[in-house]
């Protein structure tokens, strides 16, 4: 169970490196009554993410036979192949190739369409009350690739219903760290929290893909090791 928790935390940290989420936090901190808005955003996102996770988990469990067999553990080659794919993706992210391609695409789009406009979420949050903040939080926090990987691990782990729910909660608490830490920081030192969030946002914009690559690489090593041990 401890190994499963470590894997879930690792995947949750990968999901946490989400530039749009940090941009939303920065906007919420600049609005009147930021604590109320951040709490509403967190509640909306957490509720939607957990409900969607439970639905996807049930679908994964129903399709367990399609994934390999009816037992709780996948074939070793599935873990080995997944680990190798994750390591290849980690190299692509860490090497700077992903950042170069994204920068080139952004430059082409800027040349063709002008400077990028704020996202739908950012536009809404600039004039949001608590209800709209909760809605935006729910919309942008539907399951992504890291969450789907975590749910796949949970579905194949043979855990009890309570353990499955606990692992889903653990993933989501980890995924929302970039919102939870500023929310707690605002309660303690509101004047410094906005500055720190802005600094972190700039740092993640410059290094987010490398951080994601490192986390994906760790997940790949874990999957590869699990597959090799199971095959021996």
**What is the SS3 assignment for the chain?**
CHHHHHHHHHHHHHHHCCHHHHHHHHHHHHCCCHHHHHHHHHHHHHHHHHHHHHHHHHHHHHCHHHHCCCCCCCCHHHHHHHHHHHHHHHHHHHCCHHHHHHHHHHHHHHHHHCCCCCCHHHHHHCCCCHHHHHHHHHHCCCCCHHHHHHHHHHHCCCCCHHHHHHHHHHHHHHHCHHHHHHHHHHHHCHHHHHHHHHHHHHHHHHHHHHHHHHHHHHHHHHHHHHHHHHHC
Long-range contacts (CB closer than 8 Å, 24 or more residues apart) made by 108-111: none
Residue 67 pLDDT level (bands cut at 50, 70, 90): very low
Look up the pTM and report it: 0.72
Instruction: Read off the pLDDT of residues 151-171 as tens digits, 9 standing for 90 and up.
Output: 888 888 888 889 999 999 999
Higher pLDDT, 143 or 74: 143
In angstroms, the first-to-last Cα distance of the chain is 21
Q: What is the mean pLDDT of the chain?
A: 79
Average pLDDT over residues 66-86: 65
Higher pLDDT, 130 or 83: 130
In this prediction, residue 75 carries a pLDDT of 62
Dist CA 130 CA 197 (whole Å): 20
Dist CA 11 CA 7 (whole Å): 6
Residue 184 predicted with pLDDT over 70: yes
Higher pLDDT, 100 or 176: 176
- Give the C-alpha distances (Å, rounded to integers) separating 226 from 37, 39, 91, 229: 42, 38, 20, 5
| Longest CA–CA separation in the chain, Å | 59
Residue 49 pLDDT level (bands cut at 50, 70, 90): very high
Residue 103 predicted with pLDDT over 90: no
Dist CA 111 CA 123 (whole Å): 22
Average pLDDT over residues 80-104: 80
Residue 106 predicted with pLDDT over 80: no
In this prediction, residue 63 carries a pLDDT of 67
Find the range with the poorest average confidence among 12-21, 55-64, 116-125, 192-201: 116-125
The token duo for 187 is: 């309660």
Higher pLDDT, 71 or 44: 44
């Amino acid at each position: 169970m401890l190994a499963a928790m470590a894997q879930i935390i690792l995947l949750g940290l990968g999901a946490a490196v989400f530039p749009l989420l940090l941009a939303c936090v920065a906007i919420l901190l600049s609005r009147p009554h930021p604590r109320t808005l951040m709490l509403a955003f967190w509640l909306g996102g957490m509720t939607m993410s957990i409900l969607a996770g439970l639905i996807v988990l049930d679908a994964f469990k129903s399709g367990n036979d399609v994934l390999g067999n009816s037992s709780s553990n996948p074939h070793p080659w599935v873990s080995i192949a997944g680990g190798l794919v994750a390591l290849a993706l980690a190299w692509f992210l860490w090497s700077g190739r992903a950042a170069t391609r994204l920068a080139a695409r952004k430059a082409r789009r800027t040349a063709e369409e002008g400077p990028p406009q704020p996202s739908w979420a950012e536009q809404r949050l600039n004039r949001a009350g608590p209800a709209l903040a909760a809605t935006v939080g729910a919309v942008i926090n539907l399951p992504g690739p890291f969450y789907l990987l975590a749910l796949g691990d949970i579905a194949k782990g043979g855990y009890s219903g309570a353990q499955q729910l606990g692992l889903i909660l653990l993933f989501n608490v980890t995924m929302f760290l970039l919102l939870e830490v500023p929310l707690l920081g605002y309660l303690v030192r509101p004047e410094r929290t906005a500055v720190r969030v802005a600094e972190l946002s700039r740092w993640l914009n410059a290094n987010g893909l490398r951080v994601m690559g490192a986390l994906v690489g760790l997940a790949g090593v874990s999957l590869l090791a699990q597959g090799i041990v199971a095959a021996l």
